[in-house]
Amino acid sequence: MILHSLGAGQEVGRSAFLLDTGNARFVMDFGIKLVPGDKKAVEYPLELPAKPHFVFLSHAHLDHCGYLPSLYSKGETVPFLATKPTLEISKIMWKDALKVAKLNNNPPPFKHKDIKQADKYWDPVIVGQKNSLLGINMDIYDAGHILGSVYANFDIQGKKVLYTGDFKYTPTELHKGADHPPETDVLIIESTYWYQNHPPREEQIKKIYEIVDDVIESGGNVLFPSFALGRTQDLIDILADRYYGKVPIYVDGMGKKITKIYLQHLNQLQDKNFPNKVKKVRFIENSLQRRKATERPSIIISTAGMLDGGPALEHMLNMSPKSAVILTGFQVEGTNGHRLLTQNKIKIDNYELKVEFPVYYISLSAHADRGDIFRFIQQTSPEKIILVHSDSSQVFEEELREEFGYDAKAIKTGESIKI
C-alpha cells in the first residue's frame, strides 16, 4: 500500500491523504489552508495522483473538509463517507468558503453546483457501526473533537490502518471525549500539540469567570472572538447558566447557524441541557442589534476566532474602555488575533489601531495534547506511526524513534511512502 500526503504533512491545514491499496484508492479528508496576512491566500491539497474511489471525511472543519466539492466540478460520482452532522455543517462551511473567497478577491475553489453535486454522493457513517466499500472494512469511532467528528480503523486485506483526523481524549462540557481505540498496524495520527499538555480545563474556565466577573462589575463588555464551529457552542455551554439574568449574552456570526445544527443532534452531545442554555443567549440578526450589544455591560461571542473578518471586529470598535477581549483558541502568526496578543493592535482596512483594553488568552483547545497522543499510541500498539497535522512533527518523529523505539515517520506534504 502507498500513502500519498497531499497536505498536512509537517504543516497544519489542508489535510488530504490518498491511500492506494493496489485494489482501491481512497482519500482521508480533503481540506484547505487559510494563509493569514494581508493577501489572505488559500492553499489547496496537491493534485491527486489518481482518481479516488471514495473519500472519508473525519469532520467539518475547513482544513479537513474544505476542498471536497472540487472533486465534483466535472460531474464526478465519487461517494464520500461522513456522519450526518459533518455533512450538514460542511455545507455551511463550503458556502462560507465561497463567500470569503469573493470578499478577498480569491478565485473560488469550487462552485455552488459542486456543493449540490457532493450532497448527492454522501454515504452516511455512524459511530459504532461497520461500513464496507470495495472490500475495505471500516470501524467508526467518536473522535471527541467537535460534533460529528469521527476516526476510522480501515481493515484492508487483513492489514489495519487507523486515521485519527482531529481528536481529543479529555471530555469537555459538550463532548465525552474520544472512544478508546482498537489495536492497529499503521496509525496516522494528528500531532498538533505533541509537545505540551493543555492546562486543566476546570482551571481555565475558572479564569474566564474571574475575568468576566471583574469586567461586568466595572461596567464593560467582554468579547470572545470565537470559531463558528465548536468554540461558539463551547462558550454558550460554559457561560449561559452562570450569567443569565445578570447581563445579556449575545452570539453573532456564522456560529448561530452551526449552533442550530448542534440542537438537532442532542443525542451526540454530553450536555443534554444544551438546548436550555441556548435559550438563554441572544442571537444577533442585524446591525441595529449589533450596535445595541455594547450599549451596556454584556458578553459577546462572535466570529471570527482569529479576528480576521466577521462581526467581532465591529464589536471591538464599539466596546467601552472598561471592556476586555478573551481569546480561547490558537492565534496563527499574521492574524489579527496574533497581532492583538503580541502588540495590542488590530488591523482594519490596512490601518493599524491601538487597542486600549486588556486582552487575555485562555486555552480551551479541542485537540489532543501530549498526554492524549501518547495514550492513543499505547492503546493502538501500532507497528508504524505516521505523524501528520503538525508544524514540528519531524522533532516528534525523532523523539518517538530514539526515546521510545517506535517506527515513526513525519510524512511531508508531497511525499509518498509504502506502509
Span 114-124, pLDDT tens digits: 999 999 999 99
Span 35-67, pLDDT tens digits: 877 667 899 999 999 999 999 999 999 999 999
Same domain, 352 and 371: no
Write out the three cell numbers for 413.
Answer: 506534504
Alpha carbons 391 and 386: distance in angstroms, whole number:
14
Domain boundary among 361, 378, 406: 361
Give the domain range for residue 257: 201-361
Same domain, 268 and 371: no
CB burial string 156-175: b at 16+ within 10 A, e below: beeebbbbbbbbbbbebbbb
Over residues 2-11, mean pLDDT: 98
CATH at 286: 3.40.50.10890
Domain boundary among 361, 376, 398: 361
Same domain, 150 and 23: yes
Same domain, 375 and 356: no
Same domain, 356 and 234: yes
Alpha carbons 353 and 152: distance in angstroms, whole number:
46
Same domain, 273 and 383: no
**Does the pTM exceed 0.85?**
yes
Span 144-168, pLDDT tens digits: 999 999 999 999 999 999 999 999 9
Write out the three cell numbers for 13.
Answer: 491545514
Picking from 63, 140, 88, 62, the residue whose alpha carbon sits closest to that of residue 262 is 88
How many degrees, rounded to 5, is the angle at CA 157 between CA 3 and CA 124? Answer: 75
Same domain, 239 and 290: yes
Same domain, 11 and 160: yes
Alpha carbons 193 and 119: distance in angstroms, whole number:
33
Provide the percentage of residues in the chain whose pLDDT is more than 90. Answer: 94
Same domain, 296 and 411: no
Same domain, 66 and 209: no
> Could you give the C-alpha distances from 40 to 146, 201, 346, 413, in angstroms and in order?
26, 32, 15, 21
Same domain, 335 and 240: yes
Span 93-109, pLDDT tens digits: 999 999 988 888 888 99
Largest CA distance in the chain: 66
Span 364-407, pLDDT tens digits: 999 999 999 999 999 999 999 999 999 999 999 999 999 999 99
Over residues 123-128, mean pLDDT: 97
How many domains does the chain divide into? Answer: 2
CATH at 158: 3.60.15.10
Same domain, 189 and 211: no
